[in-house]
């Protein structure tokens, strides 16, 4: 669940919005936690989100599929992506600075 101070819409710059959105899980919408990629289609999700999605399908007697592109997928194809975790950590720190400057810009525009 998105925190009120962690919205992808915190920025006026489309480039920053797009960058922020690229570091978010397509399932939960939060910044990646334990980023995990499905090796066959290269889509990335939070580790917990993708595992729950795959196991939910198996529980319904359906073939497990990528939640984004619906290609067949299974647990053996899941790969942790530590570099994305590092980028997300750095972005969490940097986004606070960008948000501060965005708010400052908005404040100056209304003066």
pLDDT at 43 over 60: yes
Q: Which are the contacts of 102, defined by CB distance < 8 A and separation ≥ 6?
A: 10, 11, 12, 13, 16
Q: Report the percent of the chain where pLDDT is more than 90.
A: 59
Position 59 confidence tier, pLDDT thresholds 50, 70, 90: confident
pLDDT at 89 over 60: yes
| Look-up of token digits 């948000």 | 99
């Amino acid at each position: 669940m998105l925190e009120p101070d962690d919205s992808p819409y915190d920025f006026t710059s489309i480039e920053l919005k797009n960058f922020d959105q690229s570091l978010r899980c397509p399932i939960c919408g939060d910044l990646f936690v334990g980023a995990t990629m499905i090796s066959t289609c290269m889509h990335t999700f939070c580790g917990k989100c993708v595992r729950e999605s795959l196991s939910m399908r198996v529980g319904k007697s359906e073939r497990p599929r990528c939640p984004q592109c619906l290609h067949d997928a299974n647990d053996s194809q899941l790969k942790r992506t530590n570099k994305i975790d590092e980028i997300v950590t750095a972005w969490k720190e940097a986004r606070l600075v960008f948000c501060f400057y965005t708010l400052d810009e908005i404040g100056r525009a209304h003066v």
